[in-house]
Amino acid sequence: MNWYNDTISKIESKEKPKTDYWEQDINNELLITEFEKAIVKLVENIENEKDLGCLPMRFRMLPNVILKEDRYNISDKKYLLKRMYFVLERNKSNDFIKELIAEFKLIVEPYFEIYDFIIKEPQQNTADKPNKGKQKKIAEKWYALLYWIELSANGQQPPKSIEGTFVKREIEKIGREKTGTTGQSFYREFIKIDLNNERLISKAFSKEWKNEIIRLSNNSLLISNYIEDKYNSK
How do residues 87-134 score in pLDDT, each as one tens digit?
A: 888 888 888 888 888 888 888 888 877 888 887 654 444 444 444 444
Are the CB atoms for 159 and 166 separated by under 8 Å?
yes
Mean pLDDT score of the chain, rounded to an integer?
Answer: 78
Q: Answer whether 0.75 is exceeded by the pTM.
A: no
CA distance 141 to 139: 5
93-114 core/surface letters (b: 16 or more CB in 10 A; e: else): eeebbeebbeebeebbeebeeb
Comparison of pLDDT for 13 and 142, the residue scoring more: 142
Per-residue pLDDT reduced to its tens digit, 165-220: 999 999 999 998 888 888 899 999 999 999 999 999 999 998 899 999 998 988 88
The answer to whether residue 55 scores a pLDDT higher than 80 is: no
